[in-house]
């Protein structure tokens, strides 16, 4: 039986690297994989998944209006025409930027097409107390959920929160979906709950 797997963690926990390592294993075994990510995250450019250690792989980018199940169906047809077999697994990076409707399409891929789907993403947004909508839906629907752990920027506790810093000032409200990174004037810091509310910033 095909399953939906969800891997989540704070920023800078090597989620994309984990995904790409998993993809490498499948491809070394001669299996067909399809990599996807929401086009909302354009940091690596459209059509690519990059890790911070320099490893990358091509992928399909999709926007909020596209049906992920239709993309997978078209890819299955293309593989069949070329005589290359079936899709063994679908990988989705930055899954927090999907819509709830697209999560339901992911479930369709698993249950109706019989294809394993492995999603990687952030659980918490930087907004105080807010979990990404798509991650709520993914965790509700998932067969298996795994946490990729890392430590707080300022202590040895587990990083569970994302603190957004704009011009040196913590920001805990605003739009849920904002693409950011861990460097620059507008940056994110992975931290524990205590330091989310009480960051040691001068």
Q: Beta-carbon neighbour count of residue 43 at 10 Å? A: 10
Q: 94, 108, 137, 185: which one is catalytic?
A: 94
Residue with structure tokens 């994309």?
16
What phi and psi, each to the nearest 5 degrees, are found at residue 118?
Answer: -120, 120
- Confirm whether 101 is a catalytic residue: no
Contact by Cβ (8 Å): 122, 148: no
**What phi-psi label fits residue 199: left (phi over 0), alpha (psi between -120 and 50 degrees) or beta?**
beta
Strand partners, 62: 38
| Cα 20 from Cα 32, distance rounded (Å) | 14
Known catalytic residues are 94
């Amino acid at each position: 039986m095909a399953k939906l797997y969800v891997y989540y963690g704070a920023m800078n926990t090597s989620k994309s690297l984990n995904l790409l390592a998993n993809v490498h294993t499948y491809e070394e075994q001669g299996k067909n994989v399809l990599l996807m990510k929401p086009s909302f995250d354009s940091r690596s450019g459209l059509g690519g998944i990059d890790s911070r250690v320099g490893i990358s792989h091509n992928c399909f980018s999709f926007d909020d209006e596209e049906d992920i199940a239709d993309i997978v169906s078209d890819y299955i047809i293309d593989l069949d025409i070329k005589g290359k077999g079936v899709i063994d697994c679908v990988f989705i990076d930055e899954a927090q930027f999907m819509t709830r409707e697209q999560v339901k399409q992911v479930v369709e891929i698993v249950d109706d097409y019989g294809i394993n789907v492995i999603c990687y993403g952030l659980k918490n947004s930087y907004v105080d107390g807010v979990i990404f909508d798509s991650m709520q839906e993914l965790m509700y629907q998932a067969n298996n959920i795994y946490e990729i752990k890392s430590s707080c920027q300022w202590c040895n506790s587990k990083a569970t929160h994302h603190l957004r810093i704009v011009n040196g000032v913590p920001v805990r409200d605003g739009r849920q979906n904002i693409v950011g990174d861990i460097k620059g004037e507008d940056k994110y810091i992975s931290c524990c709950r205590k330091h989310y509310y009480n960051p040691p910033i001068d």
